[in-house]
Amino acid sequence: MFKRQLIRKVISVGICSVIGLAALGFGNAATASAATKTKADKIISTGKKYLGVKYRFGAPSGVTYAFDCSSFTQYIFKRNGISLPRTSSSQAAKGKKVTKAQLKKGDLVFFKRPGKSGVGHVAVYIGNNKMLGASGKKVQVSSLSSNYWKKNYITARRVL
């Protein structure tokens, strides 16, 4: 009888230990997952707070009542500790060049203006072939697959 009780206690303690360690392991995984909420995710989250804000060419740096493409990227990156120059062409000279096939969340994507050469627009790649930027009339999410963006795509840079 004593032997049976001892075995039950040993098994019980063993099972509790395994469950506790597993829970601890999952807790670490959750903590790691939260820690891996990347800088890119934070930048994108910051940018999405401004969806619908008016587009205005030449909008001043640091304001949030209106953005142009590069003041928007400059602002959301700066809010997350990364300094970018003011203009899209200057931003295109920063970081490491990446191909379209290598795009990761947080990469800057650059476009030309129709009929012009050189960089004329910048946005932030947010995954799933989409980008976040100030264009048209407001801050919005757009598809890189749209005819306009596909036709005017120039390059991408990784600054993270």
pLDDT digit string (tens) for 83-127? 999 999 999 999 999 999 999 999 999 999 988 889 999 999 999
| Residues 67-81: b if buried by 16+ CB within 10 A, e if exposed | bbbbbbbbbbbeebe
Q: What is the CATH number of the domain that holds 92?
A: 3.90.1720.10
What is the structure's pLDDT at 114?
84
Are 89 and 61 within one domain? yes
Q: Do 24 and 64 belong to one domain?
A: no
CA distance 8 to 52: 63
Residues 26, 62 within the same domain: no
Which residues of the chain are modeled with pLDDT < 50? 2, 6, 10-11, 13-33, 35
At 4 the pLDDT is 53
Shared-domain flag, residues 115 and 87: yes
Using an 8 Å Cβ cutoff, are 50 and 72 in contact?
yes
The range of the structural domain enclosing residue 4 comes to 1-36
> Both 123 and 112 in a single domain?
yes
* Residue 124: CA count within 13 A, CB half-sphere: 29
Regarding whether 65 and 108 lie in a shared domain, the answer is: yes
Q: Give the pLDDT of residue 160.
A: 94
pTM assigned to the model: 0.77
> How many domains does the structure of the chain reveal?
2
Rounded Cα–Cα distance for residues 80 and 48 (Å)? 14
